[in-house]
Structure formats: structure tokens, C-alpha cells
Homo-oligomer: A and B are copies of this chain.
């Protein structure tokens, strides 16, 4: 029966949604306890900066899968908090380069404790985390393909999609 599918579906979409919000809440808690003054998405952005050094907004958006409408205000808040500076690239005036301030770079040390705390909060083993990560990565890629295709696969139409 179709009803059966409907219930299973609710459970699956809902499980991802709920897990994401539970993760957000856990990060909020940990970030608050460590008093880093960062929200979860801000922490993600800072992590890219810690790992890669200065990046453009475009690169940051690609890394985090976020567009400028989300990143612009987020980066302004990080700048207002003194964690980053933003400046137009001299080479290409369209680009804005985001770089850590000394204060922002210094934050990295305290942030080292975040992964450990989160690891405990998840209760997952390293293998469990990797298995879950793998499944989620595949799922995300498949869903992204569906969306960028604009709908179901229609057999093998052209190949170009879009």
C-alpha cells in the first residue's frame, strides 16, 4: 500500500532533519561551554579558514555549500566579532578575500577541544562515524544530482542534464 511508503518516508526524511538539529544543538552547547563566541555555521567557516588560510567568499561558499546570501552577513558578524578581516582582492576587484585576524587564529587552540567533546556526545566509534559519513556523503551526492537535474532521471535522456 502507498500508506506504507508514506510512513517510511516520513521516518527517513524526518530522521535526517532531526539528526541535523540535534547536531546543531550539541554544537551550540559545546561552543557555549567553551565560550568561543561562535555559532555552529560560524565555527564551520572558521574551520575552513584555519585549515586553508585566506580564501575568497566564493571559495568559502564552495567549501561549505553556501551562497553569498548566507555568507555575507555571517562574515560581517565574524568581522564585527574581530575574528576575520575582509578586503577586496587587488588582483580582481570583484573578489573579497577573507582572512583570520590574530584573535581569530588564536581561537583555533581552544577550538581543538570541540571535536573531542562532540565525539563524546555522539557516542560513535571511529568506525561508526566513518560508516555514517560515507552513507551521508553518498546520499547527499545523489540528492544533489536529482536537484541539479531538475527532477527524476527520465531514463537516459541527453547526458548534459539541465
Contacts and interface: CB of A to CB of B under 8 A. Distances in A.
B11 A133 contact: yes
Interface residues of A, number: 66
Interface in A96-147: 112, 114-124, 126, 128-133, 135-140, 142-144, 146-147
Interface in A1-29: 2, 5-27, 29
22 contacts: A5-B116, A8-B130, A9-B115, A9-B118, A9-B119, A12-B132, A13-B23, A13-B40, A14-B44, A16-B16, A17-B20, A18-B65, A19-B139, A20-B20, A25-B143, A25-B144, A26-B146, A26-B147, A120-B146, A120-B153, A121-B146, A122-B139
